[in-house]
Chains A and B, each alone.
Chain A
């Protein structure tokens, strides 16, 4: 493990053209992600092996015959040694083949279930972000420009209050006060089969609003902090003194620096958005990844469970990597900071 560090350190010590620095940075980040993935694989492999009771019996059901039970144990891989299980799991991840589901949808290929759920989650996430990001960033910018006025305080405090509310509570409140009295707002996140894209979005409005309630405060504050820092930086003050217009300064300098932390935060939150909105998915009966994982846990469907959890983790890692890359591109200095961790 020491060797890559030594190499990176050597490169960092010598001044390199920026392209190579970026490349080194990417490689190092990928490498670290792989290690994280490996550890995650270990955790996921261990779970059925250390769970109390017999996972195979739970899957096969109380009325299953001993032959069926043996079959299930075999296909769970529990007859193999732990290192073998680990190797098989790693192979599954890289070939994206997790076998067949047991009980969530008996016999169906696991990846089909995961892709469907991912597609649903993606719809919700994209739609929600399309609403949340512009509104929150705008809110943060306004709060920063109007710092310490009542507008600023209102935005920050409303955001704080709303993001304190767990997402299922937000969902339930929206359900009670919007969905029931007003027919435009739908009770279910999932539109009937074959609906057009507009109807599907209409059904997603309330879940997206719930996401907005949870994230507005957080993102607005981060944007606000970044913007304030940028506004009060030497560069900006000099620019203002030289008579440059606000818009000019904004475009050239502030936008980039203010949005950096926002991008970084979005990256980390993306994984959470995919798998962590379980409460929302339950309240609005929406078949996303979180709800798939819950079903898999309820029915001890290990193949689906493993696939779901790992996919969420991989999305998180990819998202944070992408976010770090964007930030590094936006701010060359960050490449050094992030590179040395």
Chain B
């Protein structure tokens, strides 16, 4: 612990509470102005708009699938026989058992849009907390946790995920927890670097001289200055989370029911039929995955650019 604050002896130079709060107010107002400026830039950026439209569509599909489809995901449609290509068999054709591929794609948005944001959210919270603590306090704890982080990061995420799920079972909470845990290291690293950099700046030193507790400094001083970074990490990791969940679904690890509508599972169930020229039950879910990840990454990218300028 390097927190060796020595109380200054110049009491009459200590800023009064009024001055302090005035300074805080000015800081907050500047931040607000900067934020609205940034939001305006975002709204004008084409990448952001496209990303929001794509992701928004999928969110809509996840929330009210019934609005967008006429059939259920497990219903056998009677308007076309199985294995009928689009457009005869519906917009996306029928799959090998006679279900409507378009409906399955729409309903398939829900699992991925439940797991990925939840996992990312948890990872961000835990990662930020750890990163700030480690970055500010340094020392023994920092070294040990850093080693553990490196150990976890030395195995590809997919393999670690499979290992963990295999150990603890395949239920959805486990999946969410697994992805979250696997993203914490990377987030922690980034936040930690930022925290280290921030901790060396003047405002932190002055806060220490004022006698603020470590907790106060971390949460009130450093944290607001890294929110930009957190937002970027959030969006980037969200893309990775979608990516990872789709891969886990494809590998057959995410659920005990393979008949539920889920993009990754649908790809894994149907990709072999491609060689028989039955490409649509695979390609449309695959494109759905790609479009969601691209959409999220577009948003992440534009947020990143805006926050950097």
Chain A residues in the interface with B (C-beta under 8 A): 1, 32, 35-37, 39-40, 43, 47, 50-52, 160-161, 164-169, 172-173, 175-176, 179-180, 187, 271-272, 275-276, 278-279, 282-283, 290, 293-294, 297, 305, 309, 312-313, 316-317, 320
With A39-B148, A47-B163, A180-B275 known to touch, is A169 a contact of B156 (CB < 8 Å)?
no
Other-chain residue from B147, B155, B250, B275 in contact with A279 (beta carbon distance below 8 A):
B250
- On chain B, the number of residues with a Cβ less than 8 Å from chain A's Cβ atoms is 41
Q: In the complex, what residues of A have CB within 8 A of residue B297's CB?
A: 160, 164
> Is B293 within 8 A of A166, CB to CB?
yes
Of B65-73, B92-100, B213-221, B277-285, which binds chain A?
B277-285
**Binary interface encoding of chain B residues 254-281 relative to chain A, with 1 for a CB under 8 A from any of its CBs, else 0:** 0000000000000110010011010100
Complex contact B151–A43 (CB within 8 A):
yes
* Among candidates A32, A165, A180, A275, residue contacting B147 with C-beta atoms closer than 8 Å: A32
Question: Within 8 Å CB of B157, what residues of A?
Answer: 276
A201–B268 CA distance with the chains assembled, in angstroms: 26
Provide the bound-state CA to CA distance between A271 and B150, in Å.
13
Residue of B nearest to A165 (CB): B290
B61 within 8 A of A: no
Instruction: Say whether B243 contacts A166, CB under 8 Å.
Output: yes
Answer yes or no: B1 CB below 8 A from chain A CBs. Answer: no
**From B282, B286, B293, contact of A164 by CB (8 A):** B293
| B168 close to A (CB within 8 Å) | yes
List 24 A-B residue pairs with CB atoms under 8 Å apart, sorted by A's residue number: A36-B154, A43-B151, A52-B167, A160-B298, A160-B301, A164-B290, A164-B294, A165-B294, A166-B289, A169-B267, A172-B271, A172-B283, A175-B271, A176-B274, A176-B279, A176-B282, A180-B275, A180-B279, A271-B156, A275-B155, A276-B158, A278-B251, A282-B250, A317-B154
Q: Mark B64-94, 1 if CB is under 8 A from A, else 0.
A: 0000000000000000000000000000000
Instruction: Report the minimum CB–CB distance from B237 to chain A (whole Å).
Output: 14
User: B166 on the interface (CB 8 Å rule)?
Assistant: yes
Q: A3 to B169: give the CA distance in the assembly, Å.
A: 42
Cβ 8 A contact of B155, one of A1, A40, A51, A166: A40
Q: Whole-angstrom distance from the CB of B159 to the nearest CB of chain A?
A: 5
Residues of chain A contacted by B167 (CB below 8 angstroms): 47, 50-52
A219 CB → nearest B CB, Å: 16
Contact: B166 with A297, CB < 8 Å? yes
CB distance from B265 to the nearest CB of A (A): 12
Known: A164-B290, A173-B286, A297-B166. A271 touches B154 (CB 8 A): yes
- Inter-chain contacts of B143 with A (CB < 8 A): 1
* Chain B, Cβ-Cβ closest to A319: B154
Cα A275 to Cα B157 with chains together (Å) = 10
- The interface residues of chain B lying within 8 Å CB-to-CB of A312 are 155-156, 159
Interface of A is mostly: helix
> Which residue of chain B has the shortest Cβ distance to A44 in the bound complex?
B163
Known A-B contacts A51-B167, A279-B247; A293 and B159 likewise in contact (beta carbons under 8 Å): yes
How many residue pairs link A and B with beta carbons under 8 A? The number is: 127
Query: A315: shortest Cβ distance to chain B, in Å?
Result: 9
- Binary contact readout B121-158 vs A (1 if CB under 8 angstroms, 0 otherwise): 00000000000000000000001000110111011111
Interface of B is mostly: helix
Inter-chain CA distance A279–B157, complex, in Å, is 13
B246 at the interface (CB under 8 A from A): yes
For the complex, give the distance between the alpha carbons of A39 and B145 in Å: 11
B239 within 8 A of A: yes
- Contact A52 B156, beta carbon cutoff 8 Å: no
| In the complex, chain A residues whose CB is within 8 Å of the CB of B271 | 172, 175, 283
| B290 partner residues in chain A, CB cutoff 8 A | 164-166, 169
Q: How many Å lie between the Cα of A114 and that of B250 in the bound state?
A: 24
A297 touches B156 (CB 8 A): no
B231 contacts the other chain (CB 8 A): no
B226 interface residue, CB < 8 Å from A? no
B162 at the interface (CB under 8 A from A): yes
Of B151, B168, B277, most buried by chain A (CB within 10 Å of CB) is B151
The residues of B that contact A275 with a CB separation of less than 8 Å are: 155-156, 158-159
A161 to B293, CA, bound (A): 9
Question: Complex formed: what's the CA distance from A276 to B155 in Å?
Answer: 8
Known contacts A39-B151, A166-B247, A276-B158; 13 further A-B pairs (Cβ under 8 A): A36-B147, A40-B155, A52-B167, A160-B294, A165-B290, A167-B247, A168-B250, A172-B282, A271-B155, A275-B158, A276-B157, A290-B159, A309-B163
Give the distance in Å from the alpha carbon of A173 to the alpha carbon of B289 in the complex. 12
The reply to whether A165 and B293 form a contact with Cβ atoms under 8 Å apart is: yes
Whether the Cβ atoms of B293 and A176 lie closer than 8 Å is no
Contacts of B251 in A (CB 8 A): 278-279, 282, 294
> Is the pair A40, B156 in contact by a Cβ cutoff of 8 Å?
no
A51 to B246, CA, bound (A): 24
Q: How far is the CA of A54 from the CA of B53 in the complex (A)?
A: 49
In whole angstroms, what is the CA distance A164 to B240 when docked? Answer: 9
Q: Which of A51, A52, A309, A317 is within 8 Å of B159, CB to CB? A: A309
Bound: A40/B290 CA distance, A: 33
Let me know if B166 and A166 touch, CB within 8 A: no
Q: In whole angstroms, how far apart are the Cα atoms of A145 and B1 in the complex?
A: 48
Contact in complex: A276, B267 (CB < 8 Å) = no
Smallest CB-CB A-B distances: 6 pairs: A276-B156, A39-B151, A164-B293, A164-B294, A169-B286, A316-B154
How many angstroms between the C-alpha atoms of A172 and B264 in the bound complex?
A: 12
- Are A176 and B147 also in contact (CB < 8 A) when A40-B155, A169-B290 are? no
Of A36, A52, A166, the residue contacting B150 (CB under 8 A) is A36
